[in-house]
Every structure is written in structure tokens, then in C-alpha cells.
Amino acid sequence: MPIANLTNGIPSDQRIDQFIPPYGYLSSIDAFPNFDESVINYSTNQRSQKPSNLICKIVLVGDVAVGKSCLATRLCHNTFDRNYKATIGVDFEVEKFLILGVPMSLQIWDTAGQERFKCIAAAYYRGAHAIIAVFDMNDLDTLKSAERWVNEALQTTANDNPLIYLVGSKRDLLTDERTCVKIEQTARVTAKRLNAEFWSVSSLTGQRVQEFFKRIACVSYQMLVKQQLTPLSTSNERVMPKTQLAVSLTPMNGKTEFQATIKRELL
Ligand SMILES: Nc1nc2c(ncn2[C@@H]2O[C@H](COP(=O)(O)OP(=O)(O)OP(=O)(O)O)[C@@H](O)[C@H]2O)c(=O)[nH]1
């Protein structure tokens, strides 16, 4: 398939040529300054050949109503819904990026925070390249829970060695700057303990949402390419596994290419 067919419809702000930095270098464990030369050379070759289909599986976890679905919706549809609709089991979205001219898809698995859906959601952890643990910056109990969510996800995904991101949501509700700085400091301590990268975002205003997912796309792309370039037995890098799709997908119009059949309920 010609590369042009694979890149059609990717918005200009999801075409990335420069490595996206972390949200503050103190917040990052993998602060790559730029794409490696080997990754740039690989990308140049890919552009002139049939490109491989790079897929990064991301799983969103965290307590009820911390803002997981709104985060995915802000990225994939650039909209925000003030009305809370609980996720039932798991939702699924795909968002395409073009990195150094090579297409890559982020598969975003949005799991339910409600206890009663935990077993269903946990079934989707396997094969994750990245775990995003979301907490509400206005409720520090959800930060404690985020740590528990990550540890539970790692029980299933430890062999996959996923990247961990800790995301403070609803930044717009914190009007006092000093409080915000304090909460971010506390979150960075937790992130360090989890070997995670910390971001604070607002899905309501869109603050840092695009930037955050672009950062994940860059880091994941670099790792996936390095995995392809390095035989497993000789690699000391964090290696990301191939992803299996576990649901049947329905084509959708617009930016999101596919969506699993999703059931939501109004509480
Ligand atoms: N002010 C503000 N409200 C937000 C933000 N993100 C989410 N919310 C609100 O928080 C509530 C819960 O958001 P969801 O995204 O549905 O939460 P969730 O984590 O997916 O919840 P579950 O599906 O139950 O796991 C909704 O009423 C949203 O409108 C934000 O950035 N700012």
C-alpha cells in the first residue's frame, strides 16, 4: 500500500518531526532529548518502502470519575462532556500519528474505574506498551489509588515492561497556583516510586492533552523501532511486545478510525 494512503487524514498537529519533551525534566525517567540516529535512518528508509504498521497499545486506569474518558475524548474528538457517563467495562479508540514520516497508531483502551468492572478491564491489560494511571488533582485519595492501579496492572503486564505515565487531571479546577505546585510535587514523588513520568492536564481546556499523547507517541515510536532494529537476545533496552486485538472493530467516520461496540450508562 502506498505510504500516502496510510497517512491520509492525519491532522497536521499529529505529524511529528521533533521529539516532544516531558512535562518538566524532573517528571521524567526517560527524558530522551531527540530521536536516535538509528531511528531517524530507519524512518528515512521506511518512507521510501512499504511502511510497517506500528501500533502502540495504551491502557487508561484509575478511580471512578477521575477523567479517563474525557482525556481520550479530548485527544480523539477534541470535545469535552461535563455530564458524567460511567464507562462500562472498557472503551476503545484509535488515533493515528505520523512520526518522522512513518505512520503509527495509538490504540487507547479506556477502562472502567468502578470495582464491579475490574475483572473485565484487567483482561485488556495484557500486551500494553504504556499504562496511563489517572488521578484527580483535586482529590489526593485518587493519587494513592493510582499507585494501586499501576501495581495491579503490572501484575498482568510485568513481562511486557510497559511505560508508566501518572497523569493529574482537572488542572483547570486548581485556581491557586501554590496549591497546584504542592500537588504536582507530591505527584512527582509518587511517579518516581512508580518509575513513571508525570503530567498534569485539563481535558476541559485541553491544556497539555495533545502534548502528552504526542510525547507518548514519540517515546513509543522510538522503542518500537529500536525493537525492530535490535535482535531480542542482544537488546538491553526496554522491549515492547506486539499487540493482539481482542474485540471486533467497527469502522467509524472522522478522526477515529475504529471503535469497539461501546455501551455506556447514565448514572
Ligand atoms: N473541570 C473538569 N472536569 C473534568 C475534567 N475531566 C473530566 N471531568 C469531569 O469529571 C467527570 C468524570 O469524567 P470521566 O472522564 O467520565 O471519568 P472516568 O475516569 O472515565 O470515569 P469512569 O468511567 O467511571 O471510570 C465528568 O463529569 C467530566 O466532565 C477536567 O479536565 N476538568
Specify the number of domains making up the chain. Answer: 1
User: What interhelical angle do 37-47 and 209-229 show, nearest 10?
Assistant: 90
Asked if residue 39 belongs to a domain, the reply is yes
In this prediction the ipTM stands at 0.99
How high is the pLDDT of residue 119?
86
214 lines ligand 1 (CB under 6 A): no
Name the 3-class secondary structure at 136: strand
Q: Which atom of ligand 1 is nearest to the CA of 112?
A: 25
- Weakly modelled stretches of the chain, pLDDT under 70: 1-8, 25-32, 51, 231-267
172 lines ligand 1 (CB under 6 A): yes
Which of 72, 118, 119, 67 is closest to 91 using CA atoms? 72
Asked if residue 252 belongs to a domain, the reply is no
Name the 3-class secondary structure at 48: coil
How high is the pLDDT of residue 9?
75
- Best residue among 59, 75, 78, 84 to mutate for probing ligand 1, ranked by most atoms within 8 Å of CB: 84
Which residues in 114-252 belong to E strands, given as ranges?
Answer: 130-136, 163-169, 197-200, 249-251
**pTM (two decimals):** 0.85
**Residue pLDDT, tens place only, 170-226:** 999 999 999 999 999 999 999 999 999 999 999 999 999 999 999 999 999 999 998
Asked if residue 163 belongs to a domain, the reply is yes
How high is the pLDDT of residue 239?
43
Q: What angle do CA 179, 185, 188 make, to 5 degrees?
A: 140
- CATH code, domain carrying 140: 3.40.50.300
Asked if residue 263 belongs to a domain, the reply is no
73 lines ligand 1 (CB under 6 A): no
80 CA → ligand 1 middle, Å: 9
How high is the pLDDT of residue 262?
37
- 104 lies in which domain range? 3-236
How high is the pLDDT of residue 92?
93
176 CA → ligand 1 middle, Å: 21
**Residue pLDDT, tens place only, 240-261:** 433 333 333 344 343 333 334 3
Residue 170 and residue 204 in contact, taking contact as beta carbons nearer than 8 Å: yes
How high is the pLDDT of residue 85?
93
